[in-house]
Each structure stands twice: as C-alpha cells, then as structure tokens.
Structure 1
Amino acid sequence: MNQSDETEQHSSTITLYGGKGGVGKTTCAAAHALALSERSSDARTLVVSTDPAHSLGDAFERDLTGEPSAVTDSLFAAEVDPESGQEAYQRVVEALVAEFRDAGLRLDDDDLERLFESGLIPGGDEVAALEYIARYSLAGYDNVVFDTAPTGHTLRLLDLPEVLGETLGVAGEVQRRVQRTARAARSIVLGPAAYWGGTDNSDEIETLRERVGVVRELLRDPATTQFRVVLTPERMAIAETDRLVSRLDTASVPVDSLVVNRVFENEDECQCDRCQRDARRHTQRLREIDEQFDLDVSVVPLQETEVQGLDALSELGRYLLSEQLDREDPDRP
C-alpha cells in the first residue's frame, strides 16, 4: 500500500492537545475524549498520552499501558511506552546490520547497540510518540485524542518527520550501495549465482519511510487533524502559546483553537481582595488573548475540586465540546 492509499483509507479525526507544562493538557485531553465518547456511544474514541511524565492514568484513576484499554464501552486509553514505541526504528538498524554482515562486514551485538545509540535514529521520546501517532491514527478508531508532551517536546516532534524522512532516505541509499558492493564481490567468485538468494531488508526502511510520510501528511491535513493549545490566563503561558502557535503555523499544522484553562470567574461575586483581584486579572488576560490570537477560544473555569475520575472529567468535557459544537453549528439548540 502506498502513502496516498493509506492516507485515503484513514477515517479518524485527530485532536492533539499541547502547550506549556502544568497548564492541564492531560485533563483537557481526557475530558475531550470522554465527551466525544458520551456524545456518540457508537463511535470508538481513543486517548493516548505521549508525554513521558504520564498522568493520563491518574486522570482516569486506573493503570494504563502502551496498549489501549477500555475506560468505558466506547472510550479507550493508552500511555506511550518509549521502548516499545521505538521497535520499528530498531528494525531499521537491524536491517542495515544484516546487509553489512551479508557483505562480509563482521558486526556483533555490541556494534548493533552502538549503531542504534549513535544518533542514526534521533528523537528518543519523540520517536516513540511519532510511532504511536502512526499506529493509532490508522487503527480504525473514529476519534483519536493525543495528550502531547510540553512545548519543547512537541516542537521536536513536529520536526521529526522531516528529519526521519531524510535519515531514512540516507539509510536506504547506504543499504543499496552495500547490496551492490556485496553482489559485485560475490559475482567475481560465483558468477550469476551471486544474485540468487541472499537477504533483502529494503522493505523495512522503505515501509518505515512511507509510514513517517503518512504521519507528516496527517498532521498537516485540516480535514483530519486539529491542534488545540492549552494555556492558563497568565503572561508566561500566553507568551509560550504565541511561540507554539507560530511554530505550528510554520509547520503547516492546523490549530483549531485555544483552551484557556483554570479561569477564575468569581461567580459568587465574593468581595474579598483576592477574589476581586484574580477575577480582574483573568478578565484582562482573556481580553489580551482575544486581541493577540486570531483563533477561537474555549474558556474552562477554575474547578472547585481536583479534576480526577469520570464524573469530574465529564463535567469538564462540557466546556470543551459544547463550544466546539457551537462553532460547527451556530443554530444548534
């Protein structure tokens, strides 16, 4: 299957939550996924944490692994396992080593390990995240929600498809040169029989290269993917959001909206100095966000209790999904 065929068969909607560390990306991603599953129980929704410091399981109050497990009948959750996420990239190195050995170059297991750690396949946690985006975005779920790592990790993740595309291209060319050299050497001794049998691991590298290309296209497709940036109504969070939105725009990744989390609204009209001050400051910050960004904004009030468990996440999800539905259908009741 070529890259365009695989992309055309993909039918999931992909939502990525990103932003500064500590602004509530995980709870927002979990709440959004739960709201999607509650909206349509016939649709299968998956939420995946690609943040190395996992807390998605804590949000749902259950243990999670790298394989999806059921949270409700229609909602599934997983946390990226960096080691298993890099298995595909380990196979690329093994394919190259197999070619080297076939050419008569002796490499032992220690050589293989050094080759894998040498930087040929970059990215660490981001590589694992990319693999999981590829794996689960094409796995037949109706909705896939990703809780991404803090901004720095996310920016490296966005660069990774380009970097890996070039790296895998070089790896493929190295492999082809080694194959040609080995066959030419064998032909001196064996003649035409040198081209019989042997190992051909070209599929490993080319398949992975196509897979990376599919992810690159998915991340840039506004019909498929939306990126939601979470921030709090504080100056540092606003500044980091500005950098992230600019970088996403440069990478042609569609930003759907901003989610301003933990907004103090003083609904009880408390007259104490602290409540009055916080309400005024957050109102001013919301005004600044509206003026600075040409994006839709969802406002999530500061919750009275810690957002943990299905009931609390369901309450939070109302703010995240209702404003999105209002934008999609202004006339809905």
Structure 2
Amino acid sequence: MSIPGIDEVMSFKTIIDLIEENNYEKYVVDTAPTGHALRLLSSPVLLDEWIKMAAKMRWKYRYMIESFSGEYKDDEADVMLINLKKTVKRIAALLSNGNKCEFIPVCIPEDMAIMETERLLHELGQFKITSRQLIINNVMESDESGFCRQRKKAQLKYLLKANELFNKLRIVTVPVFPDEIKGLAALNKLKQVLFDVKEQKRDLT
C-alpha cells in the first residue's frame, strides 16, 4: 500500500533541502488551486498520523521478537520511520514559523473566489501558517470602453468585500495586463506592482 501524503512530503523535503543550502534570500513555491494546496499543506499531518500507527505496529512486532529471541535489532523499516518522522518535524517547523514562511493567497474579484479565499485563510490558521498579504489579480482599471466600465463596476463590490473580510491583510491589486505576462520586461512590470510600492492604498469609493 502507498503511504498517504508521501509524495507531497517528499516534495516538501526537496524544498527544505534547497532552502537549507541558503543560496537565495527568498524561495517561492507556486501552489495549485485551493483544494490541491490544502492537500499539500495537510500532508505532513496526515503522514504523521500514519507514522504513529505504523510505529505502534512496529512496537508490537518488536515485543514479539524480543519475547522469542531475547533481543531486537533495528532494521530498515525502523530507520525509515525515524527518518520520516524527522522530515515531518522539519516541514511542520518551517510552515508554522511566521518569520521564515508565509502563504500569500491570490484570488480574483469574483464572489466564488472571495469565498474560497476566506475558507483557505481559515484552514491556514488551523495549520498555524502565517498570511500577511493578499493579491487580487485581473482587476479592471480602464474606463476606455463600455465593457471596461461595466466590468470595473461589477468588480468593485467584490473589492470592497475583500477589503472588509481581509482587513488584517495587506491587499495588493494587480490590474489586467493587455498582454501575457511573459519575458523579463513583462515580469518587471508585474514586479513593480507587487513589490516596489511600499504601501498600496486604493480609493474604492
């Protein structure tokens, strides 16, 4: 039987190994949408429960061996469980350390996306994972056509809702770009929106 959460935990282990090499100031992991992201984040907890169950079975096996032979020597299964436990602890320690790890949700100004983000932030709190900021993507800022004005008006109520629901977070809005974000020039424009402004304040009234 496959071990539940093992693929996700091994992915985490690879990331942590890279971080501990300390070659870069920041490491960004682009997760899948909410459901898959939560599965990834819950994998250490799931695997830890499996390890506890497997460890109990190993202790029963160890007791039987010691009862019949008088001694027991750790084997590869014992070593694997110990190493898995250490890996899970490293992952949990990193995810729950607000000084080293932060989850930045990204959503769009639509009702379902706002509701999903609210659920995501609640789940992150259950995992003791810090969130300090929120990115709202694909925000219409142009007034150049009737479509743009209508789209902007439709998004406004969800921007106001996000500001009310997530008032403890720093909210950064990213406008709709006319072209695909591809290449250094486009990435630099996106960087300026995301990082170069110290405090982004927008008048939504």
Q: TM-score, normalised by structure 2?
A: 0.84
1:298 aligns with 2:172: yes
- Structure 1 residue ranges without an equivalent (≥5): 1-114, 188-193, 328-333
Give the direction of change, closer, same or farther, for the CA distance of 1:236–1:147 in structure 2 (3 Å limit): same
Q: Which residue of 2 aligns with 1:154?
A: 37
Q: 1:285 aligns with which of 153, 158, 172?
A: 158
1:134, 1:212 within 8 Å by CA — same for their partners in 2?
Answer: no
Q: Distance in 2 between matches of 1:198 and 1:251?
A: 33
Q: Distance in 2 between matches of 1:215 and 1:128?
A: 10
Q: Which residue of 2 aligns with 1:105?
A: none
Size of the alignment, in residue pairs? 197
Give the direction of change, closer, same or farther, for the CA distance of 1:124–1:264 in structure 2 (3 Å limit): farther
1:220, 1:252 within 8 Å by CA — same for their partners in 2?
Answer: yes
CA shift for structure 1 position 318: 1.6
| CA RMSD after TM alignment | 2.3
Q: Which residue of 1 aligns with 2:202?
A: none
CA shift for structure 1 position 309: 2.3
Identical aligned pairs, as a percentage? 29
Structure showing the higher strand proportion among its residues = 1
- Structure 2 residue ranges without an equivalent (≥5): 200-205
Q: 1:229 aligns with which of 93, 100, 105?
A: 105
Counting only pairs closer than 5 Å after superposition, residues 138-287 of structure 1 correspond to structure 2 as: 138-141=20-23, 142-187=25-70, 199=75, 201-266=77-142, 269-270=143-144, 272-287=145-160
1:169, 1:209 within 8 Å by CA — same for their partners in 2?
Answer: no
Show CA shifts across 1:183-210 (max 9, x none): 43334xxxxxx66x77455232112202
1:135 aligns with 2:17: yes
CA shift for structure 1 position 127: 3.8
Q: Distance in 2 between matches of 1:124 and 1:237?
A: 29
1:126, 1:153 within 8 Å by CA — same for their partners in 2?
Answer: no
Q: Distance in 2 between matches of 1:250 and 1:198?
A: 36
SS of 2:105's equivalent in the other structure is strand
Q: Distance in 2 between matches of 1:154 and 1:209?
A: 22
